Amino acid sequence: MTSNADIAIVIPVLDDAAALRALLARVRDWPTQPAQIRIVPGAPSADIATVCRDFGCDITVSRPRRGEQLDAGARATTPTAIWFVHADAEPRASSLEAIAAALAAGAESGCFRFEFAGRPSWMKRMIARGVAARLYCGGIPYGDQGLWTTRAAYDACGGFAHEPLFEEVLLVKRLRKRGTFVVLDEPLGVSPRRWERDGWLQRCAANRLLALGHAVGISPARLAARYYDPHLVEDRSQ
């Protein structure tokens, strides 16, 4: 029997209808369903609109800037909790129950444990352990770990910054200050495609340099130009 959770899933997407279809097919097969799924494309797209119709999702078109997409999606939903998921993620069927259990235990926000999707490898395990160690030492969990929050906490903390990169940093810092942010032991499958494209160690080093650049005040738009695929940089940086 299928049950429902009072949780909205918000999925930002840009030119990735195939990954979105795979994610929604996975979600719609779960025993527990979200109260709402809102897709936020960064531009009008007939392919993405078709996927949304096929899986019964709501759609809000935004500018192609990830922070704006996430914030627009959050503010267009109605459930009492919101879960932000990347279109190429592979969450487990128990993900919604894990969020609901954490909320029932008093958490207001949190994220999932970082784990690469696909075939296991020693490199994937090493990077995942590095992410866990970074979080243990106070590092910021990023959007690929499936951030979630109550609507009240989201609104109180001002939502996502309208930036093309590092849009979650200030929000996570504010959520943590409330003292109810948790990292669930439940893993969320993160797509390895950027690491596979750029090289595992090269991508890790580049990510750390981007984080350092953000910490010293380089604008997210400039940093995004070094992160996204070249044909997406112009739109993402508007």
Query: Which residues 6+ apart lie within 8 Å of 143 measured at CB?
Result: 66, 70, 84, 86, 167, 168
Residue 236 banded pLDDT, cuts 50, 70, 90: very low
Whether the CB-CB separation of 21 and 51 falls below 8 Å is answered with yes
Containing 40, the helix (H) or strand (E) segment is strand 32-41
Question: Regarding the domain delimited by 3-192, which CATH topology (the fold level of the hierarchy) does it fall under?
Answer: Spore Coat Polysaccharide Biosynthesis Protein SpsA; Chain A (3.90.550)
What is the per-residue pLDDT for 212?
87
Whether the CB-CB separation of 29 and 4 falls below 8 Å is answered with no
Q: How far apart are CA 144 and CA 44, in angstroms?
A: 24
Tell me what the mean pLDDT of segment 132-156 comes to.
95
Look at the block and give the residue holding tokens 């930036």. Answer: 163
- DSSP letter (8 states) at residue 137: T
Domain residue extents for the chain: 3-192
Comparing CA positions, the residue from 7, 38, 177 lying closest to residue 102 is 7
Residue 59 pairs with which residues in a beta bridge? Answer: 39
What is the per-residue pLDDT for 220?
80
Residue 31 burial by Cβ neighbours in a 10 Å radius (0-12, 13-18, 19+):
exposed
- Span 21-52, pLDDT tens digits: 999 999 999 999 999 999 999 999 999 999 99
Nearest 5°: the CA angle 130, 136, 139 is: 80
- Span 82-104, pLDDT tens digits: 999 999 999 999 999 999 999 99
Amino acid at 238: Q
Whether the CB-CB separation of 57 and 7 falls below 8 Å is answered with no
Could you tell me the maximum CA-CA distance found in the chain, to the nearest angstrom?
51
Tokens of 95: 């993900």
Terminal CA-CA length for the chain = 45
Tell me what the mean pLDDT of segment 3-18 comes to.
92
Q: What is the DSSP string of 162-227?
A: S-SSSTTHHHHHHHHHTT-EEEEEEEEEEP-HHHHHH-HHHHHHHHHHHHHHHHTT--HHHHHHHH
Residue 177 burial by Cβ neighbours in a 10 Å radius (0-12, 13-18, 19+):
exposed
- Model's pTM, two decimal places? 0.91
What is the per-residue pLDDT for 215?
85
